[in-house]
Structure 1
C-alpha cells in the first residue's frame, strides 16, 4: 500500500472457521440433508460468506456430491470477481425409525432391484416366486394382499 512516498506492507491473519474451509478464493462447506431429500430432491439453505444461499437438491443426490455456486466465494485480491462456493452434501441416515417408517422402507426394499447383497428381514429365495419376509414364506398371490400394500396399510392405519 502506498502511503505518501513510502510503501507500507500489511499482513492479515484470518482466524480459521469451523464452518467454512478456504481454498484460495473458493469456499467449501458441508450441508446435511435427509434421506428423503436425497432421493426425492428438495432445497436446503446454507450460510454463505456474504448472505445465506438456498440450493436446489436434485432427485437422486448421492452423499458426498458437490454443488458449485459460482461467484459466491471470497473476493479475488489480484483480479476481478469472486471465487466459488462449493457445498458438499452429506446424507443423514436416521438412527431410529418409527413403525410406519420401517414398514415403508421394507415395502420399498421388497420391490427394489439390483440390490448388491442382502437386506435384513427381506430375502429372495430360489424357489419359484416365493419370498421370505422376516422368517415367513409367502407366494406372489399372498404378496398382493399382505405384502407391500398390506404392510403399509397395517403400519399406518393399524
Structure 2
C-alpha cells in the first residue's frame, strides 16, 4: 500500500458507516480490478491500495486503532515513544528492571546470577520461541494459491507459499524461521496468520464461488455465448434463450483450487442490466408490445 489515508483512498468521511465504506470499496474496486484491466500495472496497484484501505476500515478494532494513531495505513504498529518523565512520574528509574510476573522481591543481581548460572550448565538447552505474524493476501491468491515475499523485522526476506484454497484465519507454519535456540537447541518456527481481502464481486462458499453476472437484454432474450470471468480465468458459457434475472449458470471445475489438483465450481447468477442511457427504439418497442403488457410475472405471488 502506498501509505495514503484509507478514508481518502475510499473517498469516505471519517464518520462513514460500515455500509457506506463497503459500498465505496466495491464501487471503486470494480473499476480497477485486475481481471477488468489485464496488464495495467497502475490499475493493479490502485486495486491493492483500495483493498488494503478497506481491510483497515472494515475491521472496527483496526479502524479505532488507526484513528487513535496506534497503527499506520498498512496496519503496522506505530512505535510508542516513552520519555524520561514517564518514568519519573511513576517514581521509577528508567534503567531499573521491570516486570509484572511477581519478581519484585528479587534483586536484579539475584535474577542475573540465577540466569547466568543456568547458562553456564552444559545441559542448558532451550528451543527457540515461535514468532507470530499477520499477513493480508488477495482473494484470488487464497483461491488459486501463490507466492508472496515478506520481510521479517530483522530484515530477512522470505518467500511464503500460499497453499491453494487457503482460508481466512488459516495459520502457516514456517519451520526454523522463528527465534534462535539456546545452547544449540532447535530454532523456533514462524507462524503466519492469513487474512483474506474481500473481492469486489466473488463470494466464496466452501470450495465454490458465487457471483452476479450482468447480461444485456438482448443476451437474455436471444441467448448465446458470452465470456465469463472465473478465478481459474475467463471461460465461454452459453446463456439459454429467454433467460430471466436470477437464473444460475454452473461452471464446473472453475472455483476454488484444491491441493489434490481439482477445483470447486462457479455459480453465476444472471442479472439483466439495461443501458444507462434510455434507448428510444427499445421504449417504442415495449410501448407497442401487447403481449408484454398483459404478462404479470408476480402472478404466482398472488398480486
Tell me the TM-score normalised to structure 1 length.
0.59
1:24 counterpart residue number: 206
Q: 1:34 to 1:2 in 2, by over 3 A?
A: closer
**Shift of the alpha carbon at 1:76?**
2.5
1:116 aligns with 2:289: no
Task: Tell me which of 84, 93, 105 is aligned to 2:286.
Answer: 105
Task: Name structure 2 gaps, 5 residues minimum.
Answer: 1-172, 177-185, 298-303
Higher helix proportion (structure 1 or 2): 2
1:49 counterpart residue number: 231
Task: Name structure 1 gaps, 5 residues minimum.
Answer: 118-158
Q: 1:42 to 1:75 in 2, by over 3 A?
A: same
Aligned residues: 114
**Where do residues 58-97 of structure 1 align in structure 2 (5 Å cutoff)?**
58-77=240-259, 81-94=262-275, 96-97=278-279
Q: Which has the higher contact order (CA 8 A, sep 6+)?
A: 1
Mapped partners of 2:255, 2:291: distance in 1: 43
Deviations 1:23-76 (CA, angstroms, capped at 9, x unpaired): 111111221111121111022222211211221110011101111101100113
For the Cα contact (< 8 Å) 2:286–2:292, is it kept in 1? no
**Shift of the alpha carbon at 1:112?**
4.9
CA-based RMSD of the aligned residues comes to: 2.9
Tell me the TM-score normalised to structure 2 length.
0.33
Higher strand proportion (structure 1 or 2): 1
Any idea what SS the aligned residue of 1:13 has?
strand
